[in-house]
Amino acid sequence: MDYFSGRMSELVEQLAMLPGIGRKTAQRLAFHIVSMPEEKVEKLSSVLIETRKHVRYCADCCTLTDSERCPVCSSDRRDHSTIMVVETPRDLAAYEKTGKYEGVYHVLHGAISPMLGVGPDDIRLKELMKRLGGDVKEVIIATNSTLEGETTAMYISRLIRPLGIRVTRIANGVPVGGDLENVDEVTLLRALEGRTDL
């Protein structure tokens, strides 16, 4: 690190704090950034700041959005009586890409993991329960097929079943231990169609 100027080291350090960016990648990015035209760097930094400032959680489904409600929740062409529960906004995007799901979503922003100390209160579960008062007919649990995803699915189904709402789990077309966002659209649709009651 001593080979670089103080500012370069600082930039490398900041970039290396991002997930999936190791030191080597951070250095490569830093060198790239200092060789970019100044106005491009200004654009990049202003997009970072503006995005952070304006992106917030949807008042209904908790996904990330620019406005009070996300486009899915504010659409009256969607079936608001079916809620698909996913772990991250990226999982939501994966199902939206199929273009076949007509219901709405709920984004938990994580999964229950006793090992990592993530409990039910650490994910957006209370927000989901608040939505169930209306005319919700089915909750489809589409958490990942990981230990955490399965634990979360069991926990949620136990909470919801007494309310008389149908609770289903997507089929095991999704590979065990696989993240939803990496699964192709056909597999996602098959998993959705083959869902079973919990």
Contact residues: Zn ion, CB under 5 A: 58, 60-61, 70, 73
- Nearer to Zn ion by Cβ, of 30 and 140: the residue is 140
For the bound state, the minimum distance from the C-beta of residue 171 to Zn ion, rounded and expressed in Å, comes to 25
- Nearer to Zn ion by Cβ, of 26 and 125: the residue is 125
Closest by Cα among 113, 104, 110, 174 to 139: 104
128: three-class secondary structure by DSSP: helix
- Which residues lie below 8 Å from residue 110, measured CB to CB, with a gap of 6+? 87, 88, 118, 122, 123
- Nearer to Zn ion by Cβ, of 63 and 145: the residue is 63
Please, which residues bridge with residue 84 across strands?
105, 140
- Nearer to Zn ion by Cβ, of 127 and 148: the residue is 127
For the bound state, the minimum distance from the C-beta of residue 107 to Zn ion, rounded and expressed in Å, comes to 8
DSSP E strands in the chain: the ranges are 56-57, 64-65, 79-86, 103-107, 138-141, 166-169, 196-197
For the bound state, the minimum distance from the C-beta of residue 103 to Zn ion, rounded and expressed in Å, comes to 12
For the bound state, the minimum distance from the C-beta of residue 68 to Zn ion, rounded and expressed in Å, comes to 9
